[in-house]
Amino acid sequence: MGSRRQSRENALQALYQCDCLNDWSSKCCDWYFQSFQAEEEGDHKGTFDPIKQEFSRILVVGVLENMEVIDSCITFASQNWSLSRMSRVDRNILRIGAFEICFLSDVPPNVSINEAIEVAKRYAADDSPMFINGVLDKIASEIKVNGGIPARLQKKVVNG
């Protein structure tokens, strides 16, 4: 498994923890990374790859710092589905993918979408990859058409 995919999975787990505890503080995320360091597959417990952990932290901190805009983009792109109605896994996979699409220029949107789909295949319900693909594709299309995040999506989500 690629190091960035493992980083995305670790970021998902950290955000899932925050979501379950309803604690979106950096302290909660730090606790996750201290307790469950990004381990190499097949390595012994306690060893970790600093590169994987660095990208995981970039994703988690990026989502936390931009949550309102990210959630606004997801809400826009997932018509008839409020954030609260989505599963925690789907919601946080979407947050990571939307963060990458909106804020990480070094990751092509199609890569972010494909990676989100692969993570969903591993962690989410059977119909989730298709849902995640549709939502992230709509976000990517909107960003491409507007040359960035449209102003109407840069507002706080009211009903999420």
Query: Residue 31 has what pLDDT?
Result: 86
Q: Mean pLDDT in the chain? A: 87
> Residue 44's pLDDT band (boundaries 50, 70, 90)?
very low
Q: What is the pTM of this model?
A: 0.87
- Let me know: does 93 contact 60? Beta carbons within 8 Å: no
For domain 3-153, give the CATH superfamily. Answer: NusB-like (1.10.940.10)
Predicted local distance difference test score (pLDDT) of residue 146: 87
Average the pLDDT over 24-37 and give the result. 83
Tell me: pLDDT of 41 over 60.
no
